[in-house]
Structure 1
Amino acid sequence: MKRICFCVLSPFTERDYIRFGIGELLSIGYSVLVIDCTPFLNARFENYINGNQIRFKSPVVYSCYSLSSFIKKVFEFSPDWCVDILGGFSIENYLKRVLIRLSIKLKAKIIQYKLTSYPYPSLPRNQSFCRKTLNLPKSAVTYFLSLPWKIASTDRIAVGGSFDFNKFTKSNKTVVKVHNLDFDNYKKFILKNNSIETSNTILFLDEDFPCHCDLFNLKVEPPVSEAKYFQEISNNLNFLAKKLALNPLIKLHPRANYSKSSSLYKIPITNLDTVKAIAQSSLVIAHCSTAIQLAVLFMKPIILLIPNELSKKSIYFKSIVKFSTFLNVPALNSQDLEKIYKIPEVDQSNYDNYLENYVKMKSSSDKFSWEIIASEVFSKN
Structure 2
Amino acid sequence: MKPVIYIISTPLSLRDYRRYGIEELQNKNVDVDIVDISSLIYPDKYKGNNVRSCDFCNVSYVSKVQDLDLFINQRRVDHVYITIGFLPKRILFKLMKKGSKVAVQMWGPIPLAHVGTHRFISRIKKPIVITKKIMTKLYEQVKYGNIEYDYYLSVDEVKNKQNILCHSYDYYLHLLDANNVKNQSNSNSSVVFLDQMLPYHPDFSLSGIKNTINSRSYYQKLNDYFSFVENKLKVRVVIAAHPRSIGVENYSELFQGRDVIIGMTNQLISEALFTITHYSTAINYSVINNKKIVYLLSSELISIGMKNQLELMAFETDSEIVNIDITDGFYQGNNNNNNNKYKEYKKKYITQRCDDITNGQIIINELLVNN
TM-score (structure 2 length as normaliser) = 0.85
Aligned AA (1:75): N
> Hey, what's the Cα distance between the residues in 1 that align with 2:183 and 2:289?
12
> Hey, what's the Cα distance between the residues in 2 that align with 1:105 and 1:244?
57
For the 8 Å contact 1:327–1:354, the answer to whether it is kept is: yes
Query: How far apart are residue 250 of structure 1 and its match?
Result: 1.0
SS of the equivalent of 1:376 reads helix
Query: How far apart are residue 214 of structure 1 and its match?
Result: 1.4
SS of the equivalent of 1:311 reads helix
Aligned CA-pair RMSD: 2.7
> Hey, what's the Cα distance between the residues in 1 that align with 2:182 and 2:220?
38
> Hey, what's the Cα distance between the residues in 1 that align with 2:61 and 2:81?
16
In structure 2, the partner of 1:145 is: 140
- Are 2:97 and 1:106 equivalent residues in the alignment? yes
For the 8 Å contact 1:301–1:343, the answer to whether it is kept is: no
Moved more, 32-41 or 44-53: 44-53
Q: Given the superposition, is the C-alpha separation of residues 57 and 47 from structure 1 closer, same or farther in structure 2, using an over 3 Å criterion?
A: farther
SS of the equivalent of 1:354 reads helix
In structure 2, the partner of 1:282 is: 273
> Hey, what's the Cα distance between the residues in 1 that align with 2:8 and 2:32?
13
> Hey, what's the Cα distance between the residues in 1 that align with 2:85 and 2:183?
39
For the 8 Å contact 2:192–2:240, the answer to whether it is kept is: yes
Structure with bigger helix share is 1
In structure 2, the partner of 1:118 is: 110
Q: Given the superposition, is the C-alpha separation of residues 269 and 222 from structure 1 closer, same or farther in structure 2, using an over 3 Å criterion?
A: farther
Q: Given the superposition, is the C-alpha separation of residues 199 and 47 from structure 1 closer, same or farther in structure 2, using an over 3 Å criterion?
A: farther
Aligned AA (1:324): A
> Hey, what's the Cα distance between the residues in 1 that align with 2:174 and 2:81?
26
1:303-332 alpha-carbon deviations (Å, 9 max, x no partner): 0111222226x4422221110111111122
Moved more, 222-231 or 149-158: 149-158
SS of the equivalent of 2:294 reads strand
Query: How far apart are residue 188 of structure 1 and its match?
Result: 2.5
Query: How far apart are residue 51 of structure 1 and its match?
Result: 2.5
For the 8 Å contact 1:9–1:87, the answer to whether it is kept is: no
> Hey, what's the Cα distance between the residues in 2 that align with 1:34 and 1:340?
46
> Hey, what's the Cα distance between the residues in 2 that align with 1:199 and 1:250?
16
Query: How far apart are residue 86 of structure 1 and its match?
Result: 5.3
- Are 2:87 and 1:88 equivalent residues in the alignment? yes
Query: How far apart are residue 147 of structure 1 and its match?
Result: 5.1
1:199-231 alpha-carbon deviations (Å, 9 max, x no partner): 511111110101111122222221411121111
Moved more, 24-33 or 102-111: 24-33
- Are 2:35 and 1:35 equivalent residues in the alignment? yes
For the 8 Å contact 1:25–1:370, the answer to whether it is kept is: yes
Q: Given the superposition, is the C-alpha separation of residues 12 and 49 from structure 1 closer, same or farther in structure 2, using an over 3 Å criterion?
A: same
> Hey, what's the Cα distance between the residues in 2 that align with 1:139 and 1:44?
17
- Are 2:294 and 1:299 equivalent residues in the alignment? no
For the 8 Å contact 2:195–2:277, the answer to whether it is kept is: yes
For the 8 Å contact 1:241–1:248, the answer to whether it is kept is: yes
In structure 2, the partner of 1:58 is: 57
SS of the equivalent of 1:158 reads strand
SS of the equivalent of 2:302 reads coil
TM-score (structure 1 length as normaliser) = 0.83
> Hey, what's the Cα distance between the residues in 2 that align with 1:337 and 1:68?
61
Aligned AA (1:274): T
In structure 2, the partner of 1:233 is: 222
- Are 2:315 and 1:325 equivalent residues in the alignment? yes
> Hey, what's the Cα distance between the residues in 2 that align with 1:110 and 1:189?
29
- Are 2:12 and 1:12 equivalent residues in the alignment? yes
Pairing partner for 1:155 from 150, 158, 163: 150
> Hey, what's the Cα distance between the residues in 2 that align with 1:297 and 1:148?
44
Identity of aligned residues (%): 19
Instruction: Give the unaligned 5+ runs of structure 2.
Output: 118-132
1:40-61 alpha-carbon deviations (Å, 9 max, x no partner): 32133225994315x45422x1
For the 8 Å contact 1:45–1:216, the answer to whether it is kept is: no
In structure 1, the partner of 2:237 is: 248
Aligned AA (1:332): V
> Hey, what's the Cα distance between the residues in 1 that align with 2:50 and 2:244?
11
Query: How far apart are residue 283 of structure 1 and its match?
Result: 1.3
Q: Given the superposition, is the C-alpha separation of residues 48 and 122 from structure 1 closer, same or farther in structure 2, using an over 3 Å criterion?
A: farther
> Hey, what's the Cα distance between the residues in 2 that align with 1:192 and 1:264?
29
In structure 1, the partner of 2:130 is: none
> Hey, what's the Cα distance between the residues in 1 that align with 2:182 and 2:281?
26
Q: Given the superposition, is the C-alpha separation of residues 297 and 109 from structure 1 closer, same or farther in structure 2, using an over 3 Å criterion?
A: same
Aligned residues: 350
> Hey, what's the Cα distance between the residues in 1 that align with 2:251 and 2:18?
25
> Hey, what's the Cα distance between the residues in 2 that align with 1:194 and 1:7?
34
For the 8 Å contact 2:168–2:350, the answer to whether it is kept is: yes
Aligned AA (1:184): Y
For the 8 Å contact 2:219–2:254, the answer to whether it is kept is: yes
Query: How far apart are residue 111 of structure 1 and its match?
Result: 1.0
Pairing partner for 1:377 from 341, 344, 367: 367
> Hey, what's the Cα distance between the residues in 2 that align with 1:186 and 1:336?
36
Q: Given the superposition, is the C-alpha separation of residues 298 and 218 from structure 1 closer, same or farther in structure 2, using an over 3 Å criterion?
A: same
- Are 2:269 and 1:269 equivalent residues in the alignment? no
Q: Given the superposition, is the C-alpha separation of residues 195 and 364 from structure 1 closer, same or farther in structure 2, using an over 3 Å criterion?
A: closer
Aligned AA (1:70): L
1:336-377 alpha-carbon deviations (Å, 9 max, x no partner): 66353224311111111000001011x443111111122111
> Hey, what's the Cα distance between the residues in 2 that align with 1:267 and 1:238?
11
Moved more, 175-184 or 335-344: 335-344
> Hey, what's the Cα distance between the residues in 2 that align with 1:149 and 1:289?
36
> Hey, what's the Cα distance between the residues in 2 that align with 1:237 and 1:181?
29
Aligned AA (1:25): L
For the 8 Å contact 2:322–2:329, the answer to whether it is kept is: no
